[in-house]
Chain A
Amino acid sequence: MIALTINGTEHQLDVEPDTPLLWAIRENAGLTGTKYGCGIAQCGACTVLVDGAAMRSCSVQVGDVAGKQVSTIEGLAIEGKLHKVQQAWVDNDVPQCGYCQSGMIMAVAALLQDKPTPTDADIDEAITNICRCGTFQQVREAIHAAAKA
């Protein structure tokens, strides 16, 4: 049993400590908003926040984050009100298939915590998620919009 706080709720997960956090979140905690894309820290689809820092959950063992605060896409909106990044995503009609966007949004949420008004260069450096649909143009616009919100 591993104790994990996900989106403020404590979970007791019956899972081996070397299970990737991604699969513990998806299969044991049942939160499927966090996506599997590569399993090797390349694509960012699985990005979550661990104690506020963006992490690629496919490459973090659940045992290593026991007792820490994990935030997933499901926990971003507060009482039904979208987080400003989500709102900017909606306003700018960012998602195409949308599969990469949970990870993209979590990575951007972390970026805006560190740098509330990121430059294009900051974005280029911090946002390294893959989007096969190619939504980058709208992602960039929406990041700037969220920074202004």
Chain B
Amino acid sequence: MTYMPHLSRRSFIIGAAAAGGGLAIGFDLPLGGPAVVRAADGAPEVNAWVVVRPDDTVVVRIARSEMGQGTLTGLAQLVAEELECDWSKVTTEYPTPGQNAARKRVWGDFSTGGSRGIRSSQDYVRKGGAAARLMLVQAAANDWKVPVAECSVSRGVITHTPSGRTTTYGKVAEAAAKLEAPRDVALKDPKDWTIAGKSLKRLDTVDKTTGKMVYGIDVKLPGMLNAAIKACPVVGGKLKSYDEASIAGAKGVKKVVKVGDDAVAVVADTWWHAKSALDALKIEWDEGENAKVSSETIDKWLAEGLDNAQPAFVGNQNGDVKAALANAARKVEAVYNYPYQNHATMEPMNATALFTGDRCEVWTGTQNGEAAFTMTVKESGLAAEQCDVHKLMLGGGFGRRGNSDFVRQAVAIAKQMPGTPVKLVWSREEDMTQGRYHPITQCKMTGAFDADNNLTALHVRISGQSILVYQRPEALIKGMDPATFAGLAPSGDAAIGYSVPNLLVEHAMRNPHLPPGFWRGVNINQNAIYLECFMDELAHATRQDPLEFRRKLMAEHPRHLAVLNAVAEKIGWSTPPAKGIYRGIAQHMGYASYVAAAVEISVSEGSKIKVHRMVAATDPGYAVNPAQIERQVAGSFVYGLSALFYGGITVKDGRVEQQNFDTYNSMRIAEMPKVESIVMPSGGFWGGVGEPTICVAAPAVLNAFFAATGKRIRSVPLKDQNVSFA
């Protein structure tokens, strides 16, 4: 596959000129005649999603970013399904954000996060495939001068049924590209899928096993230099000064540059030279007020927000919780907390930029090509037509690469060295300390029972950081961050799965200085722990089976219940586990998908956990590639359990304390349990896959730990509770 489709300049300009305004995504080119847009090799675009080469190769354009989650293959499957082409001849390429801008966003949204790569583009990419099919078949019918209704297509071969004549997509693509795009295209019923819905192999695997895959960090350009950077370790602080003389004569160094008002970079022939010189460079920071902040001060501030007298946003409310609590026969209360987490993508942040005075180009792995492009335009000071971003494979994203801070830095450096391409690579230490962290929260849970042990009220009071305030302030609703209530909302993509007669979910917003970001699963990570561990507490407090207790509250939530039942059955909840084995269970909803987990663990020496089995169920509505979904489930458990056992970013003197994987560890294969995935798409909606299951891993393990030890852990990470993997 190609990562940089080189639409030739000429054809690109024609395409841009031909693009009309206000047309549906992927259909900007209804004009016939000479206005055929061509790919770099001259092959015609049937439409923006589909290029067919004379040898019948089908190039599917992918707007979203591949970062390991399999969206590239899944999206290609959806297009190929409707196109009725030969899957073995499918290849993919990324259009650039600059091309998208020039063509009035013909490829729609590039942003890849929120598990929406497939679910929010499936409709228009399928239509793109279907429209291309209709045009290709029409072109064959025109050529044969027969009614199109007499023609059929299978695997890219078009047949005129009455005469038995055949032709292929490659032969009619030129003619098809000149036809007008059909206005209405019908999509297949997913029941009839033969390419989508199947566990096909990924399209991008071989190069990832041979070292050939080019990630952002691997970019090589003629005359390129390398940069290492250090930003003020106290976020919000400024660069005061640096002493260039302190690295006089350092090998390979070409230049030391200020980057923005808070960072300094060393540019050298090699990155190793740049980094070595940067480490030796004497730098003075103006750390500012934030230097007074520590984890202790943050924890104290958040704890104050748990006080009901403090102001809070209400995210979900029914009945009268206050009255129900006052009349309770029994109350249970517990306080939980969840720390900052860093993404720690395997590939540290990086971007390469070339600024020439009248043009600026960037090469980078990004989850949001359009945001990277906008940042390039802004930081370069050039016009959009003078800029572009070339998207490369991401060595992990998990939400971190939706930000363009490293693109801004790369352009700022390149601008100071016109004509020279500069590759900026963050050290792991920079990556660990300049994150966009999973936000920190605490949560006070209060439950009320009547005399018959029926749950009459639930009060969820979250105190802590909002992501949207920092990342997307325009999405706040009168100051409230609705994303905070993921999995606890009354309805929608992240609805709570329990009916409680009196319910109050609220958020006392407190935003410490560390910048928050979207971190795989985002707010369902902590919300599932808060809710699902507390449900377990409520069950045990009233001597009820944790599964039965939940089921009683789930009659009105059949899809939540179905995944819970599925994991309970598979783990064998109704029969006792083997001696020394303990079980835990959890369910939640996020990204429009329903997920549940059941686990079996053993505990030695009272604190060493071995996770033997994890059963996961997920109902994403439709499953485009079940094998890839299983991999996302298992992978999400590794990410989620790494955060549970080893994670936690802490602050001292305003700085992040963790520097590398020695203090921010990650699970290894020896700690990996066997994951058994149940993919149970129930149809009628499109849910996400990359993120939802992450959130049920931790509460299921914590609940099993309670079953094993009688100890309830309400604080993450476990390393700080002296609990570890066995």
Contact = CB atoms under 8 A, between A and B. Distances in A.
B668 A27 contact: no
Nearest to A89: B209
Nearest to A32: B218
B631 A131 contact: no
A43 B346 contact: yes
B209 A90 contact: yes
B67 A132 contact: no
Contacts of B346: 35, 37, 43, 45, 97, 99-100, 130-133
A44 B214 CA distance: 19
A145 to B, nearest CB: 13
Interface string B427-444: 110000000000000000
Contacts of A30: 220
A87 to B, nearest CB: 8
B675 interface: yes
A86 B209 contact: yes
A84 to B, nearest CB: 11
Contacts of A93: 201-202, 205, 627, 631
A86 B211 CA distance: 11
B635 A96 contact: yes
A77 interface: yes
Nearest to A124: B670
A132 B398 contact: yes
A96 B674 CA distance: 18
Contacts of B639: 132-134
A57 interface: no
Contact of A38 (B218, B345, B428, B674): B428
B251 interface: yes
Given A40-B661, A97-B67, A72 B272 contact: no
B143 interface: no
A61 B395 CA distance: 25
A38 B69 contact: no
Interface residues of B, number: 60
A133 B396 CA distance: 7
A137 B675 contact: yes
B124 interface: no
Contact of B70 (A19, A23, A96): A96
Contacts of A10: none
Given A16-B251, A28-B270, A140-B672, A130 B661 contact: yes
A94 B669 CA distance: 14
Given A73-B211, A99-B347, A134 B634 contact: yes
A32 B668 CA distance: 24
Nearest to A16: B251
B211 A39 contact: no
Given A27-B272, A137-B674, A95 B209 contact: yes
Contacts of B270: 23, 27-28
Nearest to B432: A38
B666 interface: yes
Interface string A105-117: 1000000000000
A56 B394 CA distance: 22
A35 B395 contact: yes
B478 interface: no
A90 to B, nearest CB: 6
B637 interface: yes
B469 to A, nearest CB: 27
Nearest to A33: B211
Interface residues of A, number: 57
Interface in A118-149: 123-125, 127-140
Contacts of B670: 124-125, 128
Nearest to A100: B346
B662 A135 contact: no
B87 interface: no
A72 B272 CA distance: 19
Given A128-B668, A132-B344, A39 B428 contact: yes
A138 B270 CA distance: 36
Contacts of A130: 346, 661, 666, 668
Contacts of B206: 82, 90
A128 B665 CA distance: 12
Nearest to A143: B669
Contacts of A123: 669
Interface in B190-215: 201-202, 204-215
B30 interface: no
B638 A131 contact: yes
Contacts of B675: 137
A38 B663 CA distance: 12
A132 B210 contact: no
Contacts of A89: 205, 209
Given A42-B660, A96-B68, A131-B346, A73 B210 contact: yes
A106 to B, nearest CB: 10
B627 A136 contact: no
B211 A74 contact: yes
Contact of A140 (B218, B220, B667, B669): B669
Contact of A97 (B272, B394, B661): B394
B153 interface: no
Contacts of B637: 134
A96 B667 contact: no
Contacts of A98: 68, 204-205, 207-209, 213, 393, 395
Contacts of B347: 35, 37, 97, 99
B668 A95 contact: no
A31 interface: yes
A143 B201 CA distance: 18
A66 interface: no
B548 to A, nearest CB: 31
**Residue of A37, A101, A102, A125 most packed against chain B (CB within 10 A):** A37
B217 interface: yes
Contacts of A27: 226, 270-272
B348 interface: yes
Contact of B638 (A72, A77, A136): A136
B660 A40 contact: yes
A41 to B, nearest CB: 9
Contacts of B67: 97
Contacts of B398: 132
Interface string B610-637: 0000000000000000010001001111
A128 B671 CA distance: 10
A112 to B, nearest CB: 15
B662 A129 contact: no
A127 to B, nearest CB: 5
B393 A135 contact: no
Given A35-B347, A42-B661, A101 B208 contact: yes
Interface in B528-550: none
Given A38-B661, A98-B68, A134 B667 contact: yes
Contacts of A45: 346
Contacts of B394: 97
Nearest to B211: A33
Contacts of A97: 67-68, 208, 345-347, 393-397
B210 A82 contact: yes
A135 B667 CA distance: 11
- By Cβ-Cβ distance, the 9 closest A-B pairs, closest first, are A33-B211, A134-B638, A98-B208, A99-B395, A97-B68, A96-B68, A134-B635, A124-B670, A73-B211
22 contacts: A23-B271, A23-B272, A27-B226, A27-B270, A27-B271, A28-B270, A36-B217, A37-B346, A43-B661, A72-B211, A73-B209, A76-B210, A86-B210, A93-B201, A98-B205, A130-B346, A131-B638, A133-B396, A133-B638, A134-B667, A136-B634, A138-B631
Given A97-B68, A131-B638, A134-B672, 7 more contacts: A30-B220, A40-B660, A82-B210, A105-B209, A128-B669, A133-B346, A136-B638
